[in-house]
Amino acid sequence: MPAERLHLVRHGEVHNPDRVLYGRLPNFRLSDAGRAMARAAAEYVVGLDHTVAQLRCSPLQRARESAEPFTEMLGLPAEQDERIIEPTNVFEGTRMRRALRDPRNWWHLRRPSTPSWGEAYASIAERMRQAMNDAWDGTDAGDIVFVSHQAPIWITHLSVAGLRLQHDPRTRRCSLSSVTSFERVGDVWREVGYAEPAASGVDLGAV
């Protein structure tokens, strides 16, 4: 039997009192509410009553911490995978509203379709697809869990659905600790579920 489903789980709420765009910056941990949210996501996946055969997470602290309840409940170590990390962004460490008012930053907004302020959407889609295929091909049976970030998960949703990758980040359907589920039939991925098992948190600082 091949793998059954692959779940892309977003990390929980981040402790971000300065409300900066944190991107790949180090030392951005989960808040207390974020830890509770991560546990709710893990409880949701465990409650599906499928065997989980593989657990991977982004190497960023907030993703590693969000994977901890899965390790605790499933007894699986979380393998870090660089391919499911947050994309780069030139605005890391800034408050976006303030940065966008500065004319010196407008150059970075010249091509929103790429986008010109960070990693290309096509690059994000490709690395996520590679990680998903590798995990699926390496799993004989059971589900797979990736703990990742909003942008990679939403870009995967768009790519699998055959939609344009260009989008307004404010329109993403990818809440904190949400679970977006996929399955692969042959070589074709399809999205089969979306759930928001955690209470809503303060969603600030996402790329």
142-167 pLDDT, tens digit each: 999 999 999 999 999 999 999 999 99
Question: Do the domain assignments include residue 19?
Answer: yes
Range of the domain at 184: 3-195
Q: What is the mean pLDDT of the chain?
A: 93
* pLDDT for 174: 95
Beta sheet of 142-148, edge-to-edge order: 79-80, 52-57, 142-148, 3-10, 179-185, 188-195
* pLDDT for 112: 86
Alpha helices in the chain (DSSP H): 32-47, 61-74, 96-100, 121-137, 150-161
Question: Do the domain assignments include residue 203?
Answer: no
Question: Do the domain assignments include residue 205?
Answer: no
* pLDDT for 38: 98
Question: Do the domain assignments include residue 187?
Answer: yes
Question: Do the domain assignments include residue 103?
Answer: yes
Question: Do the domain assignments include residue 30?
Answer: yes
Q: Which residues of the chain have pLDDT under 50?
A: none
Token pair 């790429």: residue: 114
Question: Do the domain assignments include residue 84?
Answer: yes
* pLDDT for 109: 81
Tokens of 133: 């295929």
| Domains in the chain, number | 1
CATH number at residue 94: 3.40.50.1240
Do 45 and 125 touch, CB atoms closer than 8 A? Answer: no
Question: Do the domain assignments include residue 116?
Answer: yes
